[in-house]
Amino acid sequence: MLKDITLGQYFPVDSVLHRMDPRFKIIFTMLFIIMLFAGNSIWTLVLGAVFVLMAQLLSKIPLKMSWKSIKPILPILVFTAVLNLEFISSGDVLWEWSFIKITEGGLQTSVFMICRIILLIVGSSLLTYTTSPILLTDAIEALMSPLRKIKFPVHEMAMMMSIALRFIPTLLEETDKIMSAQKARGAALDSGKLTQRVKALIPILIPLFVSAFRRAEELATAMECRCYRGGEGRTRLRQLRAEKRDYIGLFVCLVFLAASIVLNVLHKV
């Protein structure tokens, strides 16, 4: 049952966005986030929406998937909306009841905030939908490589991330086995009060940890046997290569960013 959990959010179809250089896709996402948060007018949101829609169409990711990524943050959206409605008071009062007062300014801000968060989530989840976790790790390693100059362990971090990804399914399988074994000995895992259920997790977590440490040690030996000695002098099978489409993408992103800055300035005047 635990096996059904999919790893990451990667949605494998063949599209332009899927084939793009993952380093560029990370940069696009960052530029997009800057664009959303630097803008303070409704027009930047419209611009953002156009951008997301364009990317969505290029990625061939069904809209249903985007809804799936918004669903978990619905409580946050509601919370933001309520907070903004309640605490921002400017403009005409629209509705009032005891201490609750909804003003026009408050309504505007909360709609604005919700739209911004939705765009943020939909836009940035396109990155994880179109890029496999390994490519993402590779790209993060490549983008962070300048940090090596200040002795930041970039390679080690990327290696840790990819090993974590590699072991998630293995450890899930193991958890499944341990749960079955403990159930066979009469452990009641899905009944009882919350405190009892939490306590019932201990006999699962302890063997899981012990085995994870054992695995880690064996893996370390196996890696040493295959001449692993850190990132120095290491080459890669897969080379990240920027192509024409990546530069076109970058150009489009910069145009959007510039447009939103211009709109911002105009709006202020």
CA–CA separation, 261 and 124 (whole Å): 20
Q: Binding mask 172-191 vs another protein (x if CB under 8 A, - otherwise)?
A: -x------------------
Kindly tell me which residue out of 147, 198, 210, 222 binds another protein, with binding defined by CB under 8 A. 222
In whole angstroms, give the CA distance from residue 8 to residue 168.
Answer: 10
For residue 225, state whether it binds another protein (rule: CB under 8 A).
yes
For tokens 């169409």, what's the residue? 57
Would you give the binding string for another protein spanning residues 125-144, x where CB under 8 A is met? --------xx----------
Residue type, 264: N
CA angle 95, 96, 100 (to 5 degrees): 115
Which residue from 113, 142, 169, 189 is in contact with another protein, where contact means CB under 8 A?
Answer: 169
C-beta of 10 vs 112, nearer to another protein? 10
Of 234 and 267, nearer to another protein (C-beta) is 234
Query: 148 with 248: CB under 8 angstroms?
Result: no
The DSSP-derived string for 233-269 is T---SSPP---HHHHHHHHHHHHHHHHHHHHHHHHH-
**Burial of 238 (C-beta count, 10 Å sphere; 0-12/13-18/19+):** exposed
Q: Take residue 133 and report the two structure tokens written for it.
A: 């976790």
With respect to another protein, which residue has the nearer C-beta, 119 or 138? 138
- Segment interacting with another protein (CB under 8 A) among 27-35, 109-117, 182-190, 217-225: 217-225
Binding of another protein at residue 79 (CB under 8 A)? no
Min CB(216)–another protein separation in Å? 9
Site of interaction with another protein (CB under 8 A): 133-134, 162-163, 165-166, 169-170, 173, 215, 218-219, 221-229, 233-239
